[in-house]
Amino acid sequence: MVTDGLKDLREKIRHSTAHVMADVVKQLYPDVKLAIGPPTADGFYYDFMVATPFTEEDLEKIEKAMQKVISNNLPFIYSEYSRDEIVDMNQSEPLKLEVISDIPEGEIISTYSHGEFEDLCAGPHVESTGDIPVFKLLNVAGAYWRGDENRPMLQRIYGTAFESQDAMDEHLGRLEEAQRRDHRVLGRELDLFSIHEETGPGLIIWHPKGARVRSLFEDFWRDEHYKRGYDLIYTPNIGRENLWRTSGHLDFFQENMFAPSETDAQNYYLKPMNCPFHIMYYKSSLRSYRDLPMKVGELGTVYRYERGGTLHGMLRVRGFTQDDAHIFCMPEQIESEIDSVLDLTFDLLQAFGFDDYTMNLSTKPTKAVGSDEQWEVAENSLRKTLDSRGLEYEVEEGGGAFYGPKIDVNIRDAIGRSWQCTTVQFDFNLPERFALNYIGEDGDSHQPYMVHRAIFGSLERFMGILIEHYGGAFPTWLAPVQIKIIPIADRHIGYGIALRDQLSERGIRCEIDDRSERMNAKVRDAQLAKIPYMFIVGDREVESKTVGVRLRSGEDLGAVDLNEVLERIVLEVEEKIT
């Protein structure tokens, strides 16, 4: 378990190691300009402006020189300066000058130094370089200065540092496992999806096998929502400018929206969110308190402009489908509705093998819409729901959106990584902007509360998480191909085809490998394709009307009665065994 104390120690070690790395880089490459170098959850990085990109050989040289600085056990010394002094000290560092210019007037400007190296920094650090127990430089990548693709491309060196070699070895083992599970590599090897420059970065083409997995969890999603009283709708992919102006997207979100196209002298935008369309559905009829809560869901495709440097396989894209829903309700219905959303969340996520969560509650920021009373009701409702379920959560004070507080559910995957997934968010803004109302029991008009929620987040991102969680070896209920039938010789193909047809009629997803390859090669290929079951058919199986069953794990179950193994497979599918 990583305690708060251990987190603090690791942050100090990593922050200090980043300074040592910057020191060494300046010594080895004097023309390099320094940017920033923070600690991260798993390590640290430092950004440099350099004429020639760093190589793996450079990293080895830097790492070796860092070891020498560490062995010299140089103390880290804290200092404070006036603005004029710190500007004068950094005249040769243009990126540092930019950082300095952003420091508010009156705020303390401090540095940490070790030896002859001194860097703008608020800390904290370990006492001396000798207190850095173990570190490793990992890789180098390009990064735009301040994440802006219109700014210079910098070189970012990533590294990690720990309090012990055992902790370092454990982390590096996780990194190696993460590489083996990389959804971009597995997506290509398993023929699940692709991305093409010709169609545009950040736009996913789902291949048949990937589309089959998607359809399975879409169907499951729809069924569960219908069971729980949601109405599912379909909405357009574009909307007129006035819609987005009323919703506030053009004021607060335009930089993430694609440029408009003009039709009939009107500007139309690709939708970045589904909310305004769901509101239009709500407004399509006069609503009464008897209609509430109204739960409106959609698997709606949206488009957002993400900077090119931030795109990452299926995990960060420009076109994606949200498992979106909006709940319109009265204030007294909030707690029960949030509780039902959490019920749905945990039921859905557990079906996919996720049962380890962390929770965050984000509260009112400094700038916010809605009355103090509304915020108090909403925050208390979220808090009470979490408390009544005995859920542990961290409070992020001031971390809510300007239009409402929220709950975030973070899932932990098979190798311990955390992924932000479900979001449940109040909105005081849109009901007011769109003048939503309902007729209360008292006959007066009232404004409903509105709750945004997405459980998977987006189907693309959730698919990427699933691929990495399972390492591509989907459980039987999700596997695009559940059984590979492998005839030993050509004379067994007829039996295999009859078997395939019989299984297909029962809703089993199966294929037959009738290639002129040796059986062992076919078995190996099926295992590489991560197919859960292989049915081997030869003379014995044809004669006894059985199948030789092998699992992708390599386990050989021998000759098994067909009905017996099908009963096992059907159970795995119906119970969604993971």
Catalytic machinery residues? 275, 304, 322, 324, 326, 406, 452
Query: For the residues of 102-160, what is the DSSP string, one character each?
Result: TSPTTS-EEEEEETTEEEE------SBGGG--EEEEEEEEEEEGGG-TTSPEEEEEEEE
Structure tokens at 377: 């009701």
Reported in sequence order, the residue ranges of 293-342 that DSSP labels E, i.e. its strands, are 294-303, 319-329
d(CA 132, CA 485) in angstroms, rounded, equals 56
Interacting residues of 573 by C-beta distance below 8 A, sequence separation 6+:
476, 477, 482
Q: What angle do CA 9, 13, 17 make, to 5 degrees?
A: 170
Phi then psi dihedrals of residue 445, to 5 deg? -85, 135
The sign of the dihedral angle between the CA atoms of 59, 65, 67, 73 is negative
- Please state the three-class secondary structure of 412-456 as a single string: ECCCCCEEEEEEEEEECHHHHHCCCCEECCCCCEECCEEEEEECC
Buried b or exposed e, range 236-251, using 16+ CB within 10 angstroms: eeebeeebbebbbbbe
Q: How many whole angstroms separate alpha carbon 504 and alpha carbon 494?
A: 15
Element (H, E) at 195: strand 193-195
